């Protein structure tokens, strides 16, 4: 079981081994993958969605993915939960579900609503 809690508002992963702070751009990549977990997300799509008009190479996406993989292992994930599909893109290979706060459900929202997101649970057996 992966069992890592993700707190986008704090750029924080909490797992069985440790708490890991992420760089903001790395957290944005993770949230984008979670919001699109049913599909393979291409480098171009991620760059357009997360970097906008900035001139960014695929290496920027690859650095974020590499950091996420390292950070998940450090937090206590038992396997690589980000799958690379060569020449296609990346997909989150885990179930990502948003947590409720009190009686209010925090749904999956796109990046513009990131500040409203409270927590994300990522699990995989």
Query: What's the CATH code of the domain at 52?
Result: 1.10.10.10
- Number of domains the chain is built from: 1
Structural domain that includes position 88: 4-122
Task: Please say whether the beta carbons of 74 and 17 come within 8 A.
Answer: yes
Span 48-83, pLDDT tens digits: 999 988 888 999 999 999 999 999 889 887 677 899
Q: What is the structure's pLDDT at 39?
A: 93
pTM of the model: 0.78
The candidate with the shortest Cα–Cα distance to 95, out of 56, 63, 50, 125, is: 125
pLDDT of residue 119: 53
Per-residue pLDDT reduced to its tens digit, 19-38: 999 999 999 999 899 889 88
């Amino acid at each position: 079981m992966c069992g890592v809690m993700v707190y986008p508002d704090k750029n924080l992963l909490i797992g069985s081994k440790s708490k890991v702070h992420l760089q903001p751009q790395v957290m944005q990549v993770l949230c984008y993958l979670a919001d699109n977990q049913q599909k393979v997300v291409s480098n171009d799509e991620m760059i357009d969605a997360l970097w906008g008009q900035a001139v960014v190479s695929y290496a920027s996406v690859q650095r974020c993915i590499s950091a996420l993989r390292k950070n998940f292992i450090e937090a206590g994930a038992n396997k690589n939960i980000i799958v690379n599909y060569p020449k296609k893109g990346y997909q989150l290979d885990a179930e990502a579900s948003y947590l409720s706060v009190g009686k209010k459900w925090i749904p999956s929202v796109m990046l513009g609503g990131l500040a409203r997101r409270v927590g994300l649970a990522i699990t995989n057996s």
